[in-house]
Chain A
Amino acid sequence: MTTMVTTKPSRWKNYSTWANRHRKWLFAAPAMIFVGLLIAVPLGWTLYLSVTDSEGSVRAASNLVGFSNYFEVLTDTERFWPAVMRTFVFTGGALAIELILGMCIALLLWRPFRGEKWVRVAILLPLVATPVAVGMMWRLIFDPNIGFANQVLNWVGIPAQPWLSGQYTALPTLMFVDIWQWTPMVVLMLLAGLTSLSDEPDEAARIDGANSWQRFWFVTLPLLRATVIVTIVLRGIDALKTFDILYATKGKGGGSFHEVETLNIYAFGLSFDYNDYGIASTVLILFFLLIITIMWVLTYRRKANRS
């Protein structure tokens, strides 16, 4: 009896001591497990599907086919590789222009001026619009027959353009829409970085007689390096995954010539139009690896530079 009475509280005490010692893990555990499962389970399932010939219904019987899906996808020069190329053209092009434009606007907004608040709000407007609504809006503007864009061209005497409906103009047009919508976010991030910089290095350079371009290129930009890289990583991943405006304007398959079919659109078409779950999962896994690699390279380089 006496032993039981003494062990019970001590076991409880041991337990609570353990809990208290690890309380940061304990409190975070439910969220971590939840998030972990949310990522791990779908990823595992996709990995499994990518080595099967599952099609029609995921509940239907399917066979393990090893890596033949990967072979099929990686040798597909008709849909897969062009989609990879379009993904990179879209991301690279949009990101580069967004960065340059974003940097220019951020520098303009950096120093306080009259009416600054209003300008900032106006610049952020495209960012808060719903992407699908944005897609529909631009689709109307770029309509080849009744759209506003061709009317404007007409006023200045330039012949009408096919815009979104042209085989070669659709992707650049959508890059423009992406730039219109996401430059504000780049501005916001760069501006946050700029405001956190101290004035001294800039002043020192000014006293040394550096002109404004030199001060930007040799002082401000190197100091802003970390912010720029974070911006590239975040916006780059986001742009790689772009789906909504592409789908809202061109639909499944990215147009009759697959002219805006990026990896995301391709994978969506494979699973929801063709019901070819094996191949779709393979494309998604490859896409996932691609993003991981790019992210790893960017962050690794950043760490290497720092040390």
Chain B
Amino acid sequence: MKRHSVVRVAAIVAATFFAAGTLTACSAGDDGGSKTLRVTLANHVWTDTIKSKLPEFEAATGLTVELSQYGEDQLSDQYNVKLNAGTDEIDVMMYRPLQEGKLFAKNGYLGDLSDDVESNAVWDWSDFQSGPVESTTYDGNVVGVPIITEQEVLYYRKDLLANAGLEVPTTMDELEAAAKAISEQNPGVAGFVARTGKSAAVTQFSSFLYSFGGDFIDENGDSAVNSSEAKEAYAFYGGLIRDYGPENVSTDMSWPEAMAIFTQGQAGLYTEADSLYKNATDPATSKVSDTVGFAPMPAGPGGSVAYNVPSWALGINAESANSAEAWSFIEWATSAELTLVVQQDGVPGARQSVWEDPAGTSTYPADLAAAIATSTKNGVGHDRPLVIKVPEAREIVGDPIVIAITGGDSDAAADAASDAFQDILDEE
């Protein structure tokens, strides 16, 4: 009896084990082809606005939207893991065309939308600005719809400039003079602050690079980060932070850290993406909301040349089983009406008609709208090296920035960076 009971127990355990396995398998299978749409978005003001409008979409289409939201880095990690495994659990994905677009398209993660974008004349694909559209097109196929554009502008403190008796800087020399004056007159307040992290700073440094007449890659497709213009730009950007930046400045700052210093009233001048302006003008997050002003990038030897880029786009996972529903979501979220709503909430969009509509900029501070108009007019369509291995390239071309900030030999660092960057360009 005892022996038999052992076997019996084993049999029951085994049976339960398999039964449980089958049950889970069944429940997992239920989702296939259902009317649930899985949308993965980044933490952004854009996402908040869309989220508040979601019930309208669900009511109109009968779809249930399952929304996942992540910070930028976590979002990248999620995509890396899930898309690598060929998941069909993501339908609509918000991605960064300049950061990951080339890689994702090359890997075949992004579905081809070429026919979808032409299918609806009312929605009007031709309304989207050409720069952003270019960056969501890969090998002639449209793989994404741009939703958010970004230009670099100068954030400044009206009160500190007025106290110093200075006008808003319009040239790089005036910028340096203003930073110097502010830091000397206001102990504990930095004259100038900007991103300092090796990789994070690259995008905001790019406008300095262009305004000094340089670029990351020359017209032959070779590295240009050791050109004399680039070396000057590196030394200038790093020098501003070293000489007039916060004390004990961290070399890890991305926008949250730099923005915090500015909005806590500890810096007078700050160059950053305009899409983040709400952080500075919202009294809930900013101590300087009533004294912050905006201006176009100061002009260097090459003029005032800021980047004008599509920072985010929507794409459809190539493995998605709900691509038709996914497209209907994208069509809805990027419609002219919703783009206007989002833009009025402070997120610059990619639709020309919304920019031309006075309502499109009605909620913007007037000086910001003017600064954006300047940047859009002569802006450069990239804010980082356009390669497949963007993360690696950013670290390479960002190294001289950090060296300049810490007072090292940024010219030598630019030469070294150029060699390493050229290797990446040769590989691709």
Contact = CB atoms under 8 A, between A and B. Distances in A.
B392 interface: yes
Contacts of B249: 144, 165
Given A16-B7, A19-B7, A273-B391, A256 B251 contact: yes
B6 interface: yes
B7 A251 contact: no
Contact of B250 (A16, A19, A144, A252): A144
A57 B388 CA distance: 12
A60 B250 contact: no
Interface string B227-266: 0000000000000000000111111100000000100101
A60 B3 CA distance: 53
Nearest to B392: A274
Contacts of A271: 80
Given A56-B106, A144-B248, A272 B3 contact: no
B73 A145 contact: no
A161 B389 CA distance: 36
Nearest to B394: A273
A164 B253 CA distance: 12
A17 B3 contact: yes
A255 B197 CA distance: 7
A174 B406 CA distance: 21
A257 interface: yes
Contacts of A250: 252
Nearest to A17: B3
Given A59-B86, A273-B391, A251 B252 contact: yes
B378 to A, nearest CB: 31
Interface string B43-86: 00000000000000000000000000000010011001001101
A58 B391 contact: no
Interface in B1-31: 3-4, 6-7, 10, 17
A20 interface: yes
- Chain A interface size band reads 35 or more
Contacts of B106: 56
A166 B107 CA distance: 38
Contacts of B398: 256
Contact of A167 (B80, B399, B406): B406
Interface string B262-291: 001010000000000000000000000000
A275 B198 CA distance: 19
Contacts of B406: 167
A57 B106 CA distance: 9
B4 A57 contact: no
B103 interface: yes
B194 interface: no
Interface in A244-267: 250-253, 255-257
Contacts of A167: 251, 406
A26 interface: yes
Contacts of B196: 256
Contacts of A150: 248
Nearest to B188: A145
B199 interface: yes
A162 interface: yes
Contacts of A137: none
A157 interface: no
B395 interface: yes
B369 interface: no
Contacts of B103: 56, 275
6 contacts: A26-B10, A145-B247, A150-B248, A256-B197, A256-B251, A275-B103
Interface of A: 16-17, 19-20, 23, 26-27, 30, 56-60, 144-146, 150, 160-162, 164-167, 250-253, 255-257, 271-275
Given A20-B6, A57-B109, A275-B80, 11 more contacts: A56-B106, A58-B84, A59-B86, A144-B250, A161-B248, A165-B251, A250-B252, A251-B197, A256-B198, A256-B251, A272-B77
Interface of B: 3-4, 6-7, 10, 17, 73, 76-77, 80, 83-84, 86, 103, 106-109, 196-199, 246-252, 261, 264, 266, 388-389, 391-392, 395, 398-399, 402, 406
